[in-house]
Amino acid sequence: MTKEQRAWCKRYEQNTTFEPLMDDFLAGNITFVVAAKRSNHWFEVWSSDAYRAISQIPGEFDEWADYPRNAREAGFKETPSPYDLNAARPNTAKAKQCTP
């Protein structure tokens, strides 16, 4: 393992608190890049699962019950976006008369 690879492994462990998955690399079955990508993917899945497990906070929505759920409930008037090509627009162009 090179100095750069060891530094990456140390950085991975310091930032994730997990050891990188390097057994297959050390056995010579895969490259360092593949092992590092597997480690990153594993951590991404683990952290997503952990986030989902803790993101449902008991009573969270009770605190927000009195707040408006959307802009209309907050009293904002809906205005068409200037970028919406399907929005109705007043016809300001004068119609040309067609003569036969």
Exposure b/e, 27-45, CB count within 10 A at least 16 = b: eeebebeebbebbeeebee
Query: Looking at per-residue confidence, does 97 or 8 come out higher?
Result: 8
User: What pLDDT sits at residue 56?
Assistant: 79
Tokens at residue 36, please? Answer: 């590092």
Which tens digit of pLDDT belongs to each residue from 41-93?
A: 999 999 998 888 888 777 766 666 666 666 677 777 766 666 666 666 555 55
The answer to whether 36 and 18 are in contact (CB under 8 A) is no
pTM of the predicted model over 0.85? no
